[in-house]
Every structure is written in C-alpha cells, then in structure tokens.
Chain A
Amino acid sequence: QVQLQESGPGLVKPSETLSLTCAVSGYSISSGYYWGWIRQPPGKGLEWIGSIYHSGSTYYNPSLKSRVTISVDTSKNQFSLKLSSVTAADTAVYYCARHHPRGWFDPWGQGTLVTVSS
C-alpha cells in the first residue's frame, strides 16, 4: 500500500523559503509515476503546484513557477518542495500525492499546514 507523509516547518516568515519533504513508502519512486504537490488555503479550494518524474523532469503551475522548485531523492524515496519569497497568501495545507501519468492524483499524503507569519 502506497503511503505518503509530508514533513517540514509549520511556520515560515514572510519573504523566506518554504521547504517541505514528502516521504513515500510502499512504492519505489524510481519505479515510475510522477509525484506532485497540491495546496489548499484554509477554507478554500485546491491548487496544483507542480510535479516531478523520478528522472527529475518537472512541471510547474505557471502561476507559481518563478518561485517553485521540486526535487527528488530516489535514494531516500522522497521528493521535496521549495517555495521562495512567501507571503501570507501562501498559508495553506500542503499535500503531496502520487500523480498518475494520465493526470489524476492518488493517493495523497495527510497534508501539513504551513502558516506564513512573522
């Protein structure tokens, strides 16, 4: 059974860089699939941030592309998100998920709330 678990600081200061890691168990990232990040501001809807293939190829949402970096570490079976120059608008629950080549997300991690505040 594939499981994903996000980890990282729950509080980030404005203008700093948000960094999260997603640990994958029950499936080897090197075996295939894309791996993605999605976020959800409190009380709002879902926004795809970007995805990465095990080879390192990345796809980012144009609305965030200038600030996003997603990387993969196959030796640790995990992938990571960095979002730079954060503001209060980046406060959200951040989810990682396996991203099917056709396009849907399944399964998802439990999510981690990141608050941007001084």
Chain B
Amino acid sequence: AIQLTQSPSSLSASVGDRVTITCRASQGISSALAWYQQKPGKAPKLLIYDASSLESGVPSRFSGSGSGTDFTLTISSLQPEDFATYYCQQFNSYPQTFGQGTKLEIK
C-alpha cells in the first residue's frame, strides 16, 4: 500500500498567518490526492481533490499543489474556524490510504 507522510504532525499558528502542510507519497501518485479538514467530534470535510481543485463552497484561501510524490496544502490567511486537523488521501491505487494528519492549533 502507498504510504502518505504528512509534515508537520502538529503546527501552531496565529490568525492571519500563511500556513503550508506537506504530504509525501511513498511512490508516485500523479495528481490523485485529496485534502480533508476535520474538527473535533465531526466528520472530515473535503477541501481539495485532484491535488489542486477546490471543492465547491470551500473558501479560496485554501489551495493545493503538487504531483508525483510531493504535495502541499496552503491556507493563505488563517481564520479562527481553520484550526482543525488536516488529512491527505491518495486515490491512485487500492487500497486508498490517508496521511496520519496534521493538527493545526492556535498560537
């Protein structure tokens, strides 16, 4: 199975900061990557698919980039509601796998 490694595992930042989270795949997955946001006690919410396509209704401060093995999720200007855990997921091959998560906390 393809392994996804996210970095950092946790991150402290302030409202208004620009934040970047990285997801690295153990082998090339083209652009078959999605990003999700999960708040405590809630289900994950799709943010980005196909590495860089913004899901409808998701604020434009979220963006994704990358292909092959290295991917990034960027939040251009953190808002209070963005503090959550973020997961990447690859769907290039079965079994589909998720990264271990990055917890974004308020500084």
Contact = CB atoms under 8 A, between A and B. Distances in A.
A103 B44 contact: no
A48 B96 contact: yes
A105 interface: yes
B8 to A, nearest CB: 15
Contact of A105 (B1, B46, B50, B95): B46
14 contacts: A46-B98, A48-B95, A48-B97, A61-B95, A62-B95, A95-B44, A100-B49, A102-B32, A103-B32, A103-B34, A104-B89, A106-B55, A107-B43, A111-B43
B91 A104 contact: yes
Interface of B: 1, 32, 34, 36, 42-46, 49-50, 55, 87, 89, 91-92, 94-101
A76 B74 CA distance: 41
A97 B42 CA distance: 13
Chain B contact surface mostly: loop
Interface centre among A59, A107, A108, A111 (most CB of B within 10 A): A108
Which of A45, A110, A111 is packed against the most chain B CB atoms within 10 Å? Answer: A45
Contacts of A59: 94
A3 B92 CA distance: 26
A75 interface: no
B50 A102 contact: yes
Contacts of A100: 49
Contacts of A108: 43-45
Contacts of A73: none
A47 B89 contact: no
A62 B31 CA distance: 23
A63 B42 CA distance: 25
Interface in A32-79: 45-48, 59, 61-63
